[in-house]
Amino acid sequence: MNTYSGVEIFVRDSSFAVSMPTFTSNAGVYEDLLFFLNGRKSSGAVYATGQLITSGFGGLSWSMRINSADRIEIVGPVEFEVTLTGSTDALGFSSSTIGSTLVGSSYVSTAPLDWSRGLVDLSDSTYRIDEVGGANTFTFPLITPDIQDVTTFIRASGENDADDFSLSTLQELDNSARSSNDITWAINDTGFVQCHYRTALGDIVWSSTEIRDLLGFSGNEAPVIDGTVSRLTATYQSDSILLPTRPIQSNHLRVENVSQRRRKIGGGYSSNFVGSYITSVLSFDLDAALDTRDDYRHFSNRFAAMISAGERINYYQDFGDSRRALRTDQIRGSQSAYDLLYTSEENGERGRLRGSLITDQFNLVYPTRLHRRVPVSMEIEHL
């Protein structure tokens, strides 16, 4: 986003301008579109532990976390129970009331089920937390915007992990300009950029048509109002995201050992080893004009311009879980199988792979006369 250093993006509620930060030379490079929108983090008022502390009883020692078995845990200072009251169990606590057990000096309630992948509508995912042997109770969460995913809900800025970097997100810039803390920007489960905000904060008018187009908005979108909140969704996929409607057909690894070799007398070799490089080789289908949507032309006219050979590209193997992929052989020492940064699900075949694109040509040939779908091969070298 260095090209747009200091550029005004939009004005909210006719008076509150949101502008890009001013970048130094060669700065302004975001991990990907998701990181530009929200950085995999929630504001202090929205994120899970902050809301538990604000609403909780018995002191301030409330928190939410993911344990090493990839289950959600709520931690509190007194014995308590968790009961689902919303229509969606995004955190995995089931339809039963789940109690807590004493672990050290705190009580921990562990969700028995897996948490839901994908965009989270917190207004549908509410829980009641009751004190055992007392009258204290509260509803969680009270601030209920749409969130990129459950890990983003639990993860606040300043987590001090590898995904916490210094670039301001659109979500942060928008909240700062409007003196708010509950505006969220995300990519929804169908691959379109979405903004969720209280209707009273006002709608946006785009100032930069280039950034607007890059994010997939036309400028003619009208927010969908649901009670006191609004959702503004882009008309088109962003230039920098490709979300095929069908599963990946194949994904295998290629390993290359690069070395400088010298032939020895007697037929052997000596080697000055340089490095080992791992590449994901992907095969998938693009929808075309006669299918669900025309990703064929989105790929050729927009997405391909963002992914020339050598450019950074992230592959979300299970879109809806934005954590980095972790192989089981990397679970050593203090690194657990699951945390807010990594997922080792299916031996690293879920989660985000960070890489650079190797492929420099795409021959988009229809396999039949019908322009329905096109097979594509892509190679991504892991970082």
Determine the pLDDT at residue 189: 94
Give yes or no for residue 140 having a pLDDT over 90: yes
Check: CB of residue 325 under 8 Å from CB of residue 339: no
Determine the pLDDT at residue 75: 97
Our measurement of the distance from residue 76's CA atom to the centroid of its chain's CA atoms, rounded to an integer in Å, reads 27
Determine the pLDDT at residue 271: 65
Determine the pLDDT at residue 264: 64
Write the pLDDT tens digit of every residue in 323-377: 999 999 889 888 999 999 999 999 999 999 999 999 989 999 999 988 999 999 9
Instruction: Look up tokens 């790929």; give the residue.
Output: 299
Strands 16-19 and 101-103 come out as unpaired
Cβ partners under 8 Å of residue 78, min gap 6: 57, 58, 107, 131, 132, 134, 136
Give yes or no for residue 123 having a pLDDT over 90: yes
Give yes or no for residue 42 having a pLDDT over 90: yes
Question: What would the DSSP string read from start to end of 239-280?
Answer: TT----SS--SEEEEEEEEEEEEEEPTTS-EEEEEEEEEEEE
Determine the pLDDT at residue 157: 81
Neighbours of 80 (CB within 10 A): 27
Give exposure, 364-383, as e/b (b: 16+ Cβ within 10 Å): eeeeeeeebbbebebbbbee
Write the pLDDT tens digit of every residue in 172-185: 999 999 999 999 99
Determine the pLDDT at residue 270: 66
Query: Residue 352 class from Cβ within 10 Å (0-12 exposed, 13-18 middle, 19+ buried)?
Result: buried
Determine the pLDDT at residue 257: 84
Give yes or no for residue 272 having a pLDDT over 80: no
Domain boundaries, the chain: 2-41+157-233, 48-154, 250-382
Give yes or no for residue 117 having a pLDDT over 90: yes
Mean pLDDT of the chain: 93
Determine the pLDDT at residue 158: 78
Q: How far is CA 268 from CA 256, 257, 263, in A?
A: 20, 18, 6
Question: What would the DSSP string read from start to end of 308-361?
Answer: -TT-EEEEETTTT--SEE--GGG--TT--SB-SSEE-TTTTTSSEEEEEE----
At 263, the pLDDT band (50, 70, 90 cuts) reads low
Determine the pLDDT at residue 159: 81
Write the pLDDT tens digit of every residue in 144-198: 999 999 999 999 987 889 999 889 999 999 999 999 999 999 999 999 999 999 9
Give yes or no for residue 265 having a pLDDT over 80: no
Give yes or no for residue 246 having a pLDDT over 90: no
229 backbone dihedrals φ, ψ, rounded to 5°:
-120, 155
Model confidence, pTM:
0.92
Give yes or no for residue 308 having a pLDDT over 80: yes
∠ CA(99), CA(159), CA(333), 5° rounding?
A: 80
Which of 341-347's residues contact partners 24+ apart within 8 Å by CB, and which partners? 341/159, 341/161, 341/162, 341/163, 343/70, 345/70, 345/318, 345/321
